[in-house]
């Protein structure tokens, strides 16, 4: 097993798309690792010359693929460490679309030799980087393989921070012959039923899924409008506030719709639309990426709780395995989910004095902050 580094600007994207989709069919459980996401990202980024493709092969067969972005450095900040980021460019506007469940595209069963091959190859290009940054890596086999392989290459692994993500195990509900509502706490069931009643009762509620690209673009436009209006009211741009985000998501809609990987849902009552969900689907895993809700003055009307509970029932009926709320520690996620995990932000560092100094300065700053707090 060996790895090679290719510059993306020198790669034929048609060839890469063929390689990626072939490997994806065997190895990918996350939409963020699919060509629908990665190919759209590569089409949308401003400069592919700063991106490296890491390709791991054995006897000519592609076993793993990953893309690292070289983080831009200011000419006046040459002391900053050279950084490579997994499936990110290091440019804030382009990284704001937020990759989750991040990792190398490979069969989890060979994660350790794959990471060893990648790190061995990157060590041959050591002048190009001081550290690797990996955002939103879920706990599990790949994270463990990365840590073990880094140690074998005499590299250190530092976890910067972590965030929870919540999901519902739809297979477990289906296998137990239960109804989703029966798996929830008494208080959550009460909140949902009260909200259903406020919208006219469960018989007045329905979910519709966009079936064509034209329908998907229409629903996405409504979601984007409602989402942006909500966040502008709080002085923030929301998730769709840049030209890059608009271009990127239109490409995702085109690819995902064509490949059956999109759930763009409209949740409505007899009175009108309640909300919209932009869900991404891969290997039976439904990932709730963004939303837009019509909020009301009546606090019994909970559009988010109603929309997600109905979307979970919809996903159960479609035969999906998981309903993933993605990152964020919100009350509605805790109430509706059956499981919780952690996404981790990890740095792989070369053994350099600058990092030893940086760690001690950061520790000293934390001690000063703690002492000031308790003065």
Picking from 198, 182, 166, 181, the residue whose alpha carbon sits closest to that of residue 302 is: 198
Give the per-residue pLDDT at 77.
62
Give the per-residue pLDDT at 76.
61
Q: CA-CA distance, 45 to 374, in Å (whole number)?
A: 47
Give the per-residue pLDDT at 352.
76
Fold held by 167-341: Aminopeptidase (3.40.630)
Alpha helices in the chain (DSSP H): 13-27, 35-44, 92-95, 111-123, 141-152, 170-176, 186-198, 213-232, 243-258, 303-317, 331-336, 353-373
Residues lower than pLDDT 70 in the chain: 74-79, 353, 370-375
pLDDT tens digits, residue range 95-151? 999 999 999 999 989 999 999 999 999 999 988 999 999 999 999 888 999 999 999
Same fold, 2-155+350-373 and 167-341: yes
Give the per-residue pLDDT at 241.
86
Give the per-residue pLDDT at 10.
85
Q: Which CATH number fits domain 2-155+350-373: 3.40.630.30, 3.30.565.10, 3.30.450.90, 3.30.470.20?
A: 3.40.630.30
Picking from 278, 252, 245, the residue whose alpha carbon sits closest to that of residue 91 is: 245
Give the per-residue pLDDT at 75.
67
Task: List, in order, residues 6 or more apart from 286 with CB less than 8 Å away.
Answer: 263, 279, 280, 311, 315, 320, 322, 323, 324
How much is the pTM? 0.92
Give the per-residue pLDDT at 240.
92
pLDDT tens digits, residue range 164-175? 999 999 999 999
Domain boundaries, given as residue ranges, for the chain:
2-155+350-373, 167-341
Q: What are the angstrom distances between the C-alpha of 369 and each of 158, 159, 363?
A: 21, 21, 10
CB 64 within 8 A of CB 70: no
DSSP summary character for residue 52: E
Query: What is the separation of C-alpha 117 from the centre of its chain, rounded to a whole number of angstroms?
Result: 25
């Amino acid at each position: 097993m060996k790895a090679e580094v290719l510059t993306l600007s020198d790669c034929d994207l048609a060839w890469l798309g063929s390689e990626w989709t072939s490997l994806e069919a065997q190895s990918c459980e996350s939409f963020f690792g699919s060509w629908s996401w990665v190919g759209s990202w590569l089409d949308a980024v401003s400069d592919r010359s700063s991106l490296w493709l890491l390709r791991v092969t054995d006897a000519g067969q592609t076993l793993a693929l990953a893309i690292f972005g070289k983080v831009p450095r200011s000419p006046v900040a040459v002391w900053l460490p050279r950084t490579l980021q997994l499936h990110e460019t290091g440019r804030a506007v382009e990284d704001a679309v937020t990759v989750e469940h991040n990792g190398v595209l490979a069969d989890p069963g060979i994660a350790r030799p794959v990471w060893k091959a990648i790190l061995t190859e990157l060590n041959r290009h050591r002048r190009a980087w001081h550290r690797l940054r990996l955002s939103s890596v879920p706990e599990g086999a790949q994270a463990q393989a990365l840590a073990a392989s880094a140690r074998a290459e005499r590299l250190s692994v530092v976890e910067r921070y972590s965030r929870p993500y919540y999901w519902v195990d739809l297979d477990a509900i289906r296998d137990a012959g239960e109804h989703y509502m029966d798996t929830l706490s008494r208080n959550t069931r009460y909140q949902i039923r009260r909200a259903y009643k406020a919208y006219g009762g469960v018989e007045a509620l329905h979910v519709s899924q966009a079936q064509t690209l034209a329908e998907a673009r229409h629903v996405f436009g409504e979601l984007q409008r409602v989402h942006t209006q909500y966040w502008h009211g709080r002085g923030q741009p929301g998730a769709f506030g840049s030209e890059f985000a608009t271009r990127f998501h239109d490409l995702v809609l085109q690819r995902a719709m064509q490949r059956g990987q999109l759930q763009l849902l409209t949740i409505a009552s007899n009175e009108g639309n309640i909300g919209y969900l932009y869900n991404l689907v891969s290997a039976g895993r439904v990932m709730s990426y963004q939303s837009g809700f019509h909020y009301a003055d009546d606090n019994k009307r909970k559009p988010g709780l109603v929309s997600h509970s109905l979307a979970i029932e919809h996903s159960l009926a479609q035969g999906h395995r998981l309903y993933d709320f993605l990152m964020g520690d919100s009350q509605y996620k805790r109430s509706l989910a059956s499981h919780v995990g952690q996404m981790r932000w990890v740095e792989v560092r070369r053994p350099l004095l600058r990092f030893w100094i940086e760690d001690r300065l950061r520790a000293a700053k934390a001690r000063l902050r703690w002492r000031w707090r308790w003065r």
